[in-house]
Amino acid sequence: MIEDCGQHDDGKKKLYKRLLIALVGFIILILFIILLVYLILRPTKPHFILQDVTVYAFNLSAPNLLTSNLQISLSSRNPNDRIGIYYDKLDIFASYHGQQITLPTLLPSTYQGHKDVTVWSPFLFGNMVPMAPYLAVSLNQDQIMAGTILINFRVDGRIRWRVGTFLTGKYHLYVNCPAYINFGNKNSGIAVGNAMKYQLLMSCHVDV
C-alpha cells in the first residue's frame, strides 16, 4: 500500500514536470514569434513635426514668476507600411532650459493606421510658475537682448504597435520639439487677435 502511494506521488511529480516544461516551451515559442515578427517588420518610430505656436501670453514678473498661455499644432505621421500605432496616453508640456513652465496637457488617445497623419492642437497653460533665479535672468536676457527664446515642447507617453490582429505591449514614447520663437521681431509672426502665431515646421526628436 505504501509502495503504491509512493508510485502515485512519483507519477504526479512527473506529470507536473511535463506540464511545467510544456508551459515554458509555449512561452518561449510565443516570445520567439513576437521577436520574429518584430525583426521581419522592423517598426519605424513615428515622425513628429511642430507646425506652429500661437502665443497668447508669455510674461515674466517679479519675483521670477512666469505666466504663459500657448497653443501649438503638432503632427505625427506613421511611416510604416504594415504596422499601426496606438497612442494610449500622451502628456505634452513646455519647458525652458530643462524647467517645466506649463502644466501637462493630456492629448486624446488615438489609433494611427499605415502612413496616416494625426494633428493635435492643444493649449498649454502656466500661471505664475516660479522660475529658478538664474533661469529668470537668462529668460529676461533672451527676451530683451536677443529677442529669440528657445522653448522645448515635450511629449511623454505610451504607444503600442499593431500588426494585423496582433498587438504588442506598451512602449515608452518621448518626443522633444525645439521652437525658436522670435519675440523681438513682430514680422516673424502673424497677428491673430491679441495673439501672435509663429509658423515653424520644426522636426522633433523621437525616442521609443
- Which residue in the block uniquely carries the three cell numbers 494585423? 164
pLDDT in tens, 161-203: 998 888 888 999 999 999 999 987 777 889 889 999 999 999 9
Question: In the numeric block, which cell numbers belong to residue 10?
Answer: 512519483
- CA–CA dist 176, 206 (Å, integer): 7
Query: Which of 91, 99, 102, 162 is closest to 126 using CA atoms?
Result: 102
Question: What is the predicted pLDDT for the residue at 48?
Answer: 98
Question: What is the predicted pLDDT for the residue at 183?
Answer: 82
Q: Which amino acid is at 142?
A: D
- CA–CA dist 74, 82 (Å, integer): 24
pLDDT in tens, 50-74: 999 999 999 999 889 999 999 999 9
Domain ranges of the chain: 1-42, 44-207
Question: In the numeric block, which cell numbers belong to residue 23?
Answer: 508551459
CATH class of 44-207: mainly beta
pLDDT in tens, 71-130: 999 999 999 988 999 999 999 999 999 999 999 999 999 999 999 999 999 999 999 999
Question: What is the predicted pLDDT for the residue at 43?
Answer: 85
Q: Give the length of the chain.
A: 208
Measured distance between the N- and C-terminal CA atoms of the chain, rounded to whole angstroms = 63
